[in-house]
Amino acid sequence: MISISGFAQQVADSVHYSDERHFRNIQQLTFGGDNAEAYWSFDSKYIIFQKTNPKEGLQCDQIFLAKAPTKFGEKIQPKLVSTGKGRTTCPAVLKDGKHIIYASTHLGADTCPPLPDRKKYGNKYIWPIYASFDIFLADTSGKILKQLTNTKGYDAEGTISPDGKTMVFTSVRDGDLDLYLMDLKTYKVKRFTNMLGYDGGAWFSPDGKKIIWRASRPTTDADIKEYKDFLDLDLVAPTNMEIWTANVDGTDMKQVTHFGQANWAPAYMPDSKRIIFASNQEYKRGFPFNLYTIDENGGNLTKVSHDKGFDAFPMFSPDGKKIIFCSNRNNGGTHDTNIFIADWVE
């Protein structure tokens, strides 16, 4: 899933801030570069993530798989499981633990696709939604077994249902950035959202009954025009997003947050009722981003993390014992984003 990262800290670094009472035994798993979208396998034994680090020859994101640490202080040994070509994003491990999915531009070109020149758009924060992104199925050795999407335009941001039967993903195949469901046995696709705006970053709840995602909903004529103009250029400006949920059959679709700013990277907590997400809602300048929890009805907002730069991509281990997230903390004042893991304390 597309990330907002790279905010340098302006205060002293810390792995664990004193106000972060929900974290215990926190440890840093990566050191250097831009490490993001770190997600658990269903058996809680592995993590999969994307990484850019020019110092290691990684000019743009590639996918890595590693055994999750089983004790405090244990280092991870990530291995490359994408092709090393193009740009990749949005990895997930399938239910069987033997296969992965991720999106890649490698069929478009072996090289990294160019980043947009933000100066052309008034230095507005924009994401590229490369038309060459498609979703691929591979084994854990990195061998691609099947191309899952092949429609014109952006296909990415895939995640898997707890029963392993369905993939939810974002696609522009019908002219807007919407969510779709794919049956992983028949590969039939069904559209899930149909409101104007960007729908993405979707996850199933642990009980498999609901889907949660981030969405922009342009309403004014000016905002609608800007959204459509950017979309024509394979771009999206994700500065205003809110959290939405729905039942897996598409019923009871509703907006959970109404904070303004960028509320994104949501995931259900282990009880399939509460939600954790990243937001810059407290800061009109647009950052820091911190982690928050909230009830499904939008109540009981609680601040979880306290870095002065960037905390995002929270995900609980399926056994409910640990949380993984990505942060600018402890980066020595650089723009590095690293992966952190902690025991979760209620």
Q: Which two tokens stand for residue 202?
A: 């979707």
Helix (H) or strand (E) holding 225: helix 221-232
Report the mean per-residue pLDDT for the chain.
Answer: 95
| Residue 24 pLDDT level (bands cut at 50, 70, 90) | very high
| CA dihedral sign, ordered 46, 49, 54, 57 | positive
CB 231 within 8 A of CB 177: yes
| pLDDT computed for residue 10 by the predictor | 40
Is pLDDT of 325 > 90? yes
pLDDT at 316: 98
pTM value is: 0.95
Instruction: Check: CB of residue 111 under 8 Å from CB of residue 130.
Output: no
Averaged over 97-104, what is the pLDDT?
98
- Say if CB 340 and CB 329 are below 8 A apart: yes
Q: What are the residue boundaries of the structural domains of the chain, listed by start?
A: 23-344
Once rounded to an integer, what is the mean pLDDT over residues 168-178?
98
> Hey, which residues does 168 pair with through a beta bridge?
159, 181
| CATH architecture of structural domain 23-344 | 6 Propeller (2.120)
Instruction: Please give the Cα distance from 303 to 123 (Å, whole number).
Output: 30
Structure tokens at 230: 């950017």
Query: What is the predicted pLDDT for the residue at 11?
Result: 45
Q: For tokens 């100066």, what's the residue?
A: 119
Residue among 201, 246, 238 at smallest CA distance from 216: 238
DSSP 61-125: EEEEEEEPPSSTTPPP--EE-S-SSS-EEEEEE-TTSSEEEEEE-TTT-SSPPPPP-GGGGTT--
pLDDT of the residue at 267: 98
Token pair listed for 247: 């039942």
Radius of gyration of the chain (CA): 18
Q: What is the pLDDT of residue 12?
A: 60
The span from the CA of 183 to the CA of 297, in Å, is 30
Q: How far apart are CA 144 and CA 118, in angstroms?
A: 34
pLDDT tens digits along 212-267: 999 999 999 999 999 999 999 999 999 899 999 999 999 999 999 999 999 999 99
How far, in Å, CA of 72 to CA of 314, rounded?
19
